[in-house]
Structures are given as C-alpha cells and as structure tokens.
Amino acid sequence: MGQTKIDLRFSKLSKALDGLEQAERLPMTTDHLARDTTIHRFKFGVDLSLRLLKTILESLGTHVHSPKPVLQEAFANHLIDDKQVWLDMLKDRNLTSHTYDQQIADEIFSNIRTYIPLLRKTFNKLTKEFA
C-alpha cells in the first residue's frame, strides 16, 4: 500500500466529514430531511474512516478484513483512542439500514452528534501522523 492510496483515503474522508458536519447543522424540519441526510452522511464517514484505518494498518504490516478487527487493531496501534465508542459507532452505522423506524433514526441522529467530534479528532490525529 503506497502513500498515494493513503492520501486518496484522506481526501475522500475529509470531504465526507465536511459534508457530515454541514448536514448536522441543517435546521430540523417535520419531514426529517436534515436528520436523514445526516444519517446517510454519517454512514459514509464511518465507512471511509474504517477504510482509512485499514489502509494505514496495512501500511504498518497488519492485515485485517472486517470492521471490528480493524477497530481492535487500530486501538492496539494507538490510531484510535476509545475503542468502545468506535464499536458503538459501528453498531449505529450498521443500524442505518433501519432508519425507516423513526425511533431508531432519532437515536442514531442523537448519537451522531457525539460521534462527529471523535471522527474529526481521529481524522486530524491521523493526518498529522500519516498524511
């Protein structure tokens, strides 16, 4: 895995996080468009974060293939700080396919507001070390 692949992952994740932060700031309406947009962009942010972590781990010689082991190895390699919050985030990401259920969608949206600073903090930390 070359630096070019890592740089591409950083670029895509940067745009995704910008979009997520922008969506989260949209005014809430009765049609739930802002909530649903934020959830959709959250899914992209988590997926791209996991891909970046996986690519960095591969560049360090560690090969993992599924999200939970990626998070476990990322924590072991000090790429992420709070493994449990990341596992919670992954769980919520997996629940995004059930956002037709208003209660689940509202819970995920509420949680996203706490995840965004962690996603950004991790992105900034990884940028300093690997970009």
| Backbone φ/ψ region at 67: left (φ over 0), alpha (ψ -120 to 50), beta | alpha
| Residues 112, 118: Cα–Cα separation, whole Å | 10
- Range of 73's domain? 3-130
Residue 82, CB-side half-sphere exposure with 13 Å CA sphere: 13
CATH of the domain at 70: 1.20.120.330
pLDDT for the residue numbered 1: 45
Mean pLDDT, 10 residues at a time, over the chain (131 residues)?
A: 83 98 91 93 98 97 96 98 96 89 93 97 96 84
Domain count, the chain: 1
| Residues 10, 5: Cα–Cα separation, whole Å | 9
| Residues 50, 70: Cα–Cα separation, whole Å | 7
| Residues 105, 39: Cα–Cα separation, whole Å | 8
pLDDT for the residue numbered 93: 97
Q: Kindly tell me the sign of the dihedral angle through the C-alpha atoms of 116, 122, 127, 130.
A: negative
